[in-house]
Structure 1
Amino acid sequence: TVRKDLTYACREDKNCIIDKRQRNRCQFCRYQKCLACGMKREAVQEERQRGVKSEETNPTSSVRDLSMDRILEAEQRGDTRSTGGLDPGPTIDYLKVGPASLVPARYKSPVSSICHIANRQIYQLVQYARGMPHFSSLQPEDQITLLRAGWNELLIASVAWRSIEFLDSDCDEPPLGDVVDNLNRRRLVLAPGTPQLMAISPNMTLHRNSAVQAGVGP
């Protein structure tokens, strides 16, 4: 050793496990691991004497000059020595990085587009509700409560309204009764043999089969 010039010997095969719980098991292997991790004999401080103020250590000591690469390399050598040179086994990649979504990769782009458009629709619904005379006279807390309780029904009604096929080209907007009848008749699922499309927004339509396969449809 450095301080007392003691000599230690390993009772095993000089490959004892040295970790936080067993660091005092074998002084020889502990000293060897310290050297493998980059400890320098000349950097070890002398043992403190009682009543004597120790000298201030230099913050730029060589002990602090160890690079992270050297530390990791020494740690890997210590792990290999502890396992007897055996391969600890293949790394399980999916434990390191997992998928952020359960939606299949080929459907992630359409689903992201739907979510983005739905966010815009909800924002427009909130702005529309705030413009209603009776709604705007309510307390802000009551407005938030009503919007949280009914945003999904309003969004479905908006999709149903955009999904109605017009027979009269002169009609700009369908009456509310047609929207309700459309919801009650089809429940957002079109009859067999007809194009099963839902108009999510004026510029985007979604086929029902694609929504089902992506896990966002009925």
Structure 2
Amino acid sequence: MEPITSEMELSVPHLATMSSVATSARRWIMAGRVGDTGTPPTMTSTDDICAICGDEASGRHYGATACNGCKGFFRRTVRKNHIYSCRFDGKCVVDKQNRAVCRHCRYRKCLTSGMVREGVQKERDGLKKNVIKGRDEAEELKEEKADRSTRESCTLYEPFTPRWASPEQVIGTLTQAESLTNQLRSTVIRQTGTVNYDAHRFPVLSGTKMEGATADINDVGQGIHSQLLLVVEWAKLLPPFMELPMIDRAALLKQFAGQHVVLGLAWRSMNRRDGLVLSNGSFLPRDHFEIAGMSYKSVGRILDELIAPMNLMQIDEVEFVALKACVFFNPVARGVQPESSAKILQARRQTEAALEQYIGLKTPSTTGGVSRLTDLLMFVLSPLQATAQSMAEDMLISKVIGLTNLDKLMEELILIDDEPRIGNLRVDNTPFEVLLNVKQSDC
């Protein structure tokens, strides 16, 4: 597959095959381990560790200690003269879990770790042509197997099944999409880590915020911005979304962006009663109402009106990702074209049917599954729009009184907008539209 060389090609990919995802989902559900990504093996010396991703090394390859996955990636890149680019200014995390998220950063780390392009060519020149072909095929299979755990996160788009054919595929896609966007979170947070959202322009400390530290204005702004970047990547992993025209994709994301931020806060804060956990690990207490003189009333609303019902219902991850998709696929979202409403409604109904089947297996009684689905839709989704609007009002007030700097993406997706815009969206160079843009050949 040829690499995408436009400026915006770096995205989480579509799932290569839905059947494998469905199988994984069944295994996760039965084992009760949805979202488990595993842990890397314990290493005993630096010679055992891949200098690029930290996985178990297989030896020295092209000048650096590397695993088979990174060795094969470097060799393929050199031989095929692939050129990659990075949306996140070359700041992506390259480790075992995230090594395939950004090929640009992975290739650059190969070079900085000591790999040399000439080593690939010398290896090829030193073998006869007929030997090369057979060996390449065997090693290709070996290296692909080594990289399989993160291959789903590669920066190049893979073919995907255009429709959800079964409830298992729906649940599998949604759980996998959630897992992949969570893997991207550290990269996105690093990208926004030096942006100053405090209008008083206090210095921004370098480095990662200590987990559990009390949040400040920068933490709130960076958390919201990172979630807006991630919701676009998450949506691109959903086949029904990618079938829609660009204008309808924009309409759905515009309508859902604020609710996505609130849902993320609620899910991360499920075990807390006294405040919210932001995406960078910092903590926004309930009783810490004033940050630089500003009242964040939405903190209490999210805790009382959303997190409390979620805890009462003891919602699990499958239910969470399905409810999230139900909210996202809104056939009456402002700006959705009439011809697309039916497709969006179908996606919502498929999601609801998959959730109902899952709940039926989880609650094996005649009426238990139906009752639980009704309760989830009533107690969790009903307050969501109001709490998202409350958050938008907090942000708007902070901007108006000059306490907070808001970037263009936050203004476009979060701030309350009384004027109809989606029908006349500029599908060209706004921050949101650039993020959303995907080549038609990849759709």
TM over 0.5: no
**In terms of Rg, which structure is larger?**
1
Name the structure where helix makes up a greater proportion of residues. 2
Shorter-chain TM-score tier: 0.3 to 0.5
Structure number with higher relative contact order (C-alpha < 8 Å, ≥ 6 residues apart): 2
TM-score, with length taken from structure 1: 0.35
